[in-house]
Structure 1
Amino acid sequence: MNDQMSVRLGLPLLQVGQAQKEVSHNEALTLLDFAVQPVVEAVGLGAPPASPDLGACWVVGPAPTGAWTGSGNAIAGWTSAGWRFLAARDGMTAWSRADSAFARFDGSHWRVGEITGAGVFVSGHRVVGQQQPPISVPTGGSMIDIEARAAFAAVLAALRSHGLIAA
Structure 2
Amino acid sequence: MTETARFALPLLHAGQSQKEMFHNEALTQIDSLLHPAVVAIGIETPPADPVPGAAWVVGPAPSGAWADHPGAVATWTDGGWRFAVPRPGLCVWVESLGVTARYHAGAWQTGVIAAARIDIGGVQVLGDRGAAIPAPTGGTVTDSEARSAIVAILDAMRAHGLIAATEL
TM-score, normalisation: structure 1: 0.81
1:119 aligns with 117
The partner residue of 2:54 within 56, 60, 65 is: 56
1:78 aligns with 76
Q: Counterpart of 1:145 in 2: which secondary structure?
A: helix
Cα distance in 2, alignment partners of residues 57 and 85 from structure 1: 9
In the alignment, structure 1 segments of 5+ residues that lack a partner are none
Query: Does the 8 Å contact 1:91/1:107 carry over to 2?
Result: no
Q: Counterpart of 1:121 in 2: which secondary structure?
A: strand
> Deviation at 1:121?
1.7
State how 1:20-99 maps to structure 2 within 5 Å. 20-99=18-97
Aligned residues: 154
> Aligned pair in 2 of structure 1 residues 4, 52: CA closer, same or farther (>3 Å)?
same
Cα distance in 2, alignment partners of residues 128 and 56 from structure 1: 35
Q: Counterpart of 1:27 in 2: which secondary structure?
A: helix
> Deviation at 1:107?
4.0
TM-score, normalisation: structure 2: 0.81
> Deviation at 1:10?
0.9
2:9 maps to a residue whose letter is L
Q: Counterpart of 2:139 in 1: which secondary structure?
A: coil
Cα distance in 2, alignment partners of residues 116 and 93 from structure 1: 11
Determine what percentage of the aligned residue pairs are the same residue.
Answer: 45
2:143 maps to a residue whose letter is D
1:36 maps to a residue whose letter is L
RMSD: 2.5
The partner residue of 1:136 within 130, 134, 149 is: 134
Q: Any idea what the Cα deviations from partners look like across 1:53-102, whole Å, max 9, x if unmatched?
A: 22100011122111001111111001122111111111111111011111
Cα distance in 1, alignment partners of residues 93 and 40 from structure 2: 9
Cα distance in 1, alignment partners of residues 57 and 84 from structure 2: 10
> Deviation at 1:140?
5.3
Query: Does the 8 Å contact 1:89/1:107 carry over to 2?
Result: no
